[in-house]
Amino acid sequence: MGGMTLTSRRAVLSALAAAAVAGPAAAGATATPAHAAGDSDAYRSNSDLYTRLAGQEGVQFGRRYRRHGYADGSESLGYPYHRTTVMALHGGGVEMGTSELCLAIAGYHPKTLAPLQDGRGAHDYWMFEGLRSSGNSELHVTSTNCDDRVALSMAASSLNVLSLHGCTAAQAGTVPRAVVVGGRSTRFRSLLKAEFDTVGIAWRDGSEVPALAGVDPDNPCNRTMLGKGGQLELTTELRAAMFAVNTRAGRAGSTTDLFDDFVGACRAAIARLEQDPEQAVL
């Protein structure tokens, strides 16, 4: 598991005071600022960004998505349908590592895009990515201001969304390597936390960190068929430990055991969630 030892929730909470002091110093050298609100954003929305950077898609920023084909042409038999979309609203160089995690949790190798062979299938995904050599934090659009039509349509046609974000340990109030588990779905949060416990990844519940809780109804993770979803805010140190070469070019091909553990935990939680009774479309 990338050299990480099992960390209980009690251990995380007992270390909060120390992390609040040590977190900024540890993260400052490598972290770009994370945003919990839109006050400091340069762009009011995605459409504002697309308009003001017209002609720069593929140069300054990019978008990637995948919708899988589902069909039921039978009058007497039922066939599988789509349930879950994975999102990285601030991928690429904006909140590093979230693009690679988005692809892998959706069921694809982040470098080759080959399907994962773990028996858990594939999910739809959408991501916005900063492609600049520097200054990608300026491309951040806070989640509740996301108005990308494809992203919102994918959320609206999904029962579940898992949205991936980056933060600092100081913002999360945690030990350096940890994840804040948020979103309006208490069931999804519970399953994610249980799976993180299994692989020894430290977590804190979003209810304890309001700025990172991901409970606003306008957050794309909650704009689902069910009106609720999941959001994960990963600290800089946790994301950095997932890659041997922590650059935009190097990350996808240098994932560590910790990356695999995190991806496996998320995919297991999604698989369990999709077995719940409310996951049936009546």
Residue 153 resides in a domain: yes
Strand pairing report for 230-235 and 84-92: unpaired
CB 164 within 8 A of CB 105: yes
Residue 69 resides in a domain: no
Residue 59 resides in a domain: no
* Domain harbouring 162, CATH code: 3.40.630.100
Confidence of residue 5 (pLDDT cuts 50, 70, 90): very low
Residue 75 resides in a domain: no
Residue 63 resides in a domain: no
Q: For residue 107, count other CB atoms closer than 10 A to its CB.
A: 23
Residue 122 resides in a domain: yes
Helix (H) and strand (E) counts in the chain: 9, 7
Q: How many domains does the chain have?
A: 1
pLDDT of residue 78: 84
pLDDT of residue 7: 40
* CA distance from start to end of the chain: 40
H or E element at residue 259 = helix 257-273
Whole-angstrom Cα distance, residue 74 to residue 72?
6
Q: By residue range, what is the domain housing residue 232? A: 9-54+83-277
CB 130 within 8 A of CB 55: no
Span of 27-41, 183-197, 226-240 with lowest mean pLDDT: 27-41
Is pLDDT at 29 greater than 60 in this prediction?
no
% residues pLDDT > 90 (the chain): 82
157-204 pLDDT tens trace:
999 999 999 999 999 999 999 999 999 999 999 999 999 999 999 999
What is residue 56's three-state secondary structure?
coil
